Amino acid sequence: MMPRAGDAAPSFSGKATSGQIVSLADFRGKKLILYFYPKDNTPGCTTEACDFRDNLGRLSRKGAAVLGVSPDSVVSHARFAAKHDLSFPLLCDPDRAVAQAYGVWVEKTLAGHVEELLKAL
């Protein structure tokens, strides 16, 4: 079940883009945009990642960090990040445990937009 506003965020940790371990605790004191996507280098996922990349400065000025999560490997994430100049980490979730903890492992119906997130911050 997806956490509701005001609920404690489910804890997580795992390998990220460069092989470092990233956890929810690393973002303590910051707003964290934790976004989930199904696969590196697919059209919609690439558009979404590049939208976060292009707006990272604006998000950072609002005190927010970005962390992408997908089942892909560290190698896949590193190639994806290099190809599209992504400067935020991508977390590997091979067993989809993080996605399940956040209640987001469902069939995709609608993509989010950075502009909507900026308005909410």
Annotated catalytic residues are 45
Q: Which helix (H) or strand (E) holds 97?
A: helix 97-101
Secondary structure class of 78 (helix, strand, coil):
helix
- 26: its two tokens: 């690393």
Q: Are strands 21-23 and 13-15 parallel, antiparallel or unpaired?
A: antiparallel
Cα separation, 76 vs 84, in Å, equals: 12
Q: Which of 43, 44, 51, 37 is nearest to 93 (CA)?
A: 37
Maximum pairwise Cα distance, the chain: 37
